[in-house]
Structure 1
Amino acid sequence: MTLIPDLSLTGRKSDQPMVSAFSRKETAHMQVMGAPVMPDDQQGLWHQLTQVQPRASQGARLAYLHIPFCQTKCSYCAFYQNRTSDEKVANYLDALLSELAMTSQQPGLIDTPFDGIYIGGGTPSDLSPSQIALLGNAIHRYLPLRTDAELTFEARFHGFDKDRFTACLDAGFNRFSLGVQSFDTELRQRLGRIDDEITVRRELDRMCNQDQAVIVTDLIYGLPGQTLDHWQRDLDILAESGVGGADLYQLILLPESQLGRSVNKGKVPAPPGLEEKAAMFAAGRKTLKRHHFNRLSVSHFGRDSRERNRYNHLSKAGADLVPFGCGAGGL
């Protein structure tokens, strides 16, 4: 009997595997598996799940809290849900805090402390300073935390001013995930990002120079119109900044996204090919290594021991992940 390997998983043998192992990028996110839970069954199932002790991944436990609002929609994004409005955000936050309070006394939640909390979206930094304080207080009140718990707050540069940043620090957040995508103003505008390079670099330096939390950013390679020179410049700016961690993501060009439609209609340049993207990733790995970043996962790099990437590492290792809020995912 001869076993024929599944090349979609193993890739083709080659002297240049980064270029020829796979013909194209298939997917980057887990597909939706399972079936929807009907409204009449939701409360009973949630009560049942919150009675269960963590699975045996060293007893690790995480929580994800979702803020499903954005001021604008980025042209490549698949996560946009609702446009930010003061009234909707206030009503949603009230409901989220109530959800935390109602579930906080369930044995499955209070018996084991949480190793990591992630506030994602959407754009959590659209919350006001007072709302950030309310959210932080609720987390500390209702969710038991380990003494070295990682509390990550996701933000965009636009609108994430000194007052909001300070409110996050005062609320106990010790890690910030900020989407850069590219420092290049023209590329950023093509992606629907608001701030230009000067603003992004100034704000990034401001937060890094305070040195009160780990600052993590991400860059995207394979953008329409992006060259290797563009990418190398982004890498150099990132490496010379004070960030503690970085993600290097390949663009997922969704055909039905605004950016995907623009590419298909020839309104913007086509994205780089597979060989060019392989060269970009290799340049990223080489540049960050030269600047003493350690590779912590396929796409994530940390500069020193403060950047643990605990939420992503533990969630992929099978830790319990408790979701809170509309659109939140859990395991």
Structure 2
Amino acid sequence: MARGVYIHIPFCHQICNYCDFNKVFFKNQPVDEYIEALGREMEMTVAQMPEAFTNIETIFLGGGTPTALSAEQIEKLLGLITKHIPMSSVKEFSSEANPDELTIDKLQALYNGGVNRLSMGVQSFDQSLLEKIGRTHSNEHVYETIQNAKNVGFENISIDLMYGLPGQTMEQWQETLERALALKLPHYSAYSLIVEPKTIFYIQYAKGKLHLPTEDLETDMYSVLMDTMEAHGLKQYEISNFANEGYASTHNKIYWDNDEYAGFGAGAHGYLEGIRYSNVAPIKKYIETVMAGERPLLHEHEVTADEKLEEQMFLGLRKSAGVTHEEFETKFGQPMLSIYKEIIDQLQEEQLIELDSEGIRLTRKGRFIGNEVFQRFLVGE
């Protein structure tokens, strides 16, 4: 049974240098046709497996950039979502947003359409770094948009920040944190830059033209991040996420809990009825397939019992609460230690995880090398 719904909007007015998600420039794209196809895909999928959609807790609009759409297109999209997705149990309805695109009419359209959480891509408060990574907004856009969002009625607002950017200094990172926290928002996400294939940064990196901070400096930036957030009363509930009480992202928690969710749109991924799937990515192909009455599936994979165990561990350990004995035994019918005792003992000895009567979780030391810890739970590692 799905707990959440992800809806992919692949359109952008500007392509960021680090982004590897399925996206295209907005201009000359069949945006209205795409929105219609999204509605059709939702309708078909819910009709095929209605029992999977009886307890949807969250909906998340991602991209691309959902706020690349016009206010009228946003209204149309939200109308289709609320028409085809059972909304009675939805508590959190989020949309990603760019600060320089989120006009008052778009904010009003989102709010009136049921969206109650905004996740804004701010990344940095240093204009030179914003230009390096391909962002087009200014600090003034951020301040104005957040105030406008509050005026419209939004209370649950999050911003994304990035560190380990090309040429970024510790001083720039600390200033970004200070400016971000001065906004007194209830939620912050902060991610280190990962140079992904098929991005502008990857091309630059391959040519030796991308000058990144050292590994030690990036580690120090993460340490400063954790300490600064804690000093401001924000709880780190996941490796990269910090929130006031009651404002942790329910949608993202679905992923880390290894629970099921539906994915709609070109290139979207989902996990329904034990099957992980991905949709076709080309927009024209997606529209043609859906409007012909077929789900636009590119790939399906039935998750094996071993894979479910692995995913429970490496996804769950991203959470500060870690993986509890109770949730593990409830899902798999056997104690966690009956399967992973040797690995857990080794990681404890290395002071990378801690074990108690509740479960296991990363130590502070473990958070710095989380991916290495996660790999230890993979078969064959």
TM over 0.5: yes
Tell me how far 1:172 sits from its aligned partner. 0.4
What does residue 192 of structure 1 align with? 134
Cα-Cα RMSD: 2.0
Shift of the 167–86 alpha-carbon distance from structure 1 to 2, 3 Å rule, reads: farther
Match of 1:276 in 2: 217
Residue of structure 2 equivalent to 1:92:
34
1:262-301 equivalences under 5 Å are 262-265=204-207, 267=209, 270-301=211-242
* Matching residue of 2:19: 77
Aligned to 1:239: 181
Cα offset for 1:304?
Answer: 3.2
- Aligned twin of 2:352: none
Offset at 1:111? Answer: 5.7
Residue 61 of structure 1 corresponds to which residue in structure 2?
3
**CA offset digits 1:227-279 (Å, max 9, x no partner):** 000000010111110322111101002365222333454545x1111111111
Q: Deviations over 1:260-306 (max 9, x none)?
A: 333454545x111111111101111111111111111111111231x
Report deviation, 1:82.
Answer: 1.6
Cα displacement (A) at 1:146: 4.2
Determine if contact 2:4/2:260 at 8 Å carries over to the other structure.
Answer: yes
Structure 1: stretches of 5+ with no match in the other structure: 1-53, 55-59
Question: Could you tell me how far 1:104 is from its partner in structure 2?
Answer: 3.5
Q: How many pairs were matched up? A: 271
Q: For residues 148 and 324 of structure 1, do their structure 2 counterparts lie closer, same or farther at Cα, with a shift above 3 Å needed?
A: closer
Aligned residue for 1:177, secondary structure, equals: strand
Residue equivalent to 1:166:
108
Out of 64-73 and 135-144, give the one that drifted further.
135-144
- Taking structure 1 as reference, are residues 100 and 148 closer, same or farther at Cα in structure 2, changes over 3 Å only? closer
Residues 228 and 327 of structure 1: CA distance in aligned 2, closer, same or farther (over 3 Å): same
CA distance change for structure 1 residues 188 and 156 in 2, over 3 Å: closer, same or farther?
same
Which of the residues 74, 78, 94 maps onto 1:152?
Answer: 94
Contact in 1 for aligned 2:111/2:152 (Cα 8 Å): no
1:215 aligned partner: 157
Q: Are the equivalent residues in 2 in contact too, given 1:110–1:143 (CA < 8 A)?
A: no
Q: 1:184-233 deviations in whole A, cap 9, x for unaligned?
A: 11000001111122322332343246552311111111001100000000
- Give the drift of 1:113: 2.2
Q: Which residue of 2 aligns with 1:133?
A: 75
Q: Equivalent residues in 2 for 1:103-114 (5 A)?
A: 103-109=45-51, 112-114=54-56
Q: TM-score, normalised by structure 2?
A: 0.67
Gaps of 5+ in 2: 272-381
> Residues 101-152 of structure 1: CA distance to partner in whole angstroms, max 9, x if unpaired?
3333344357612011111111111111122112222222221134452111
**Please, which moves more after superposition, 163-172 or 111-120?**
111-120
TM-score (norm 1): 0.76
Structure 2 counterpart of 1:178, one-letter code: M
Q: Distance in 2 between matches of 1:326 and 1:166?
A: 26
Taking CA–CA contacts closer than 8 Å with sequence separation of 6 or more, which of the two structures ends up with the larger relative contact order?
Answer: 1
* Structure 1 residues 198 and 323, CA gap change in structure 2 (3 angstroms): same
- Deviation at 1:156? 1.1
**Could you tell which deviates more after superposition, 251-260 or 272-281?**
251-260
Q: Which has the larger helix fraction?
A: 2
The corresponding residue for 1:45 is none
Q: What code does the residue aligned with 2:243 have?
A: G
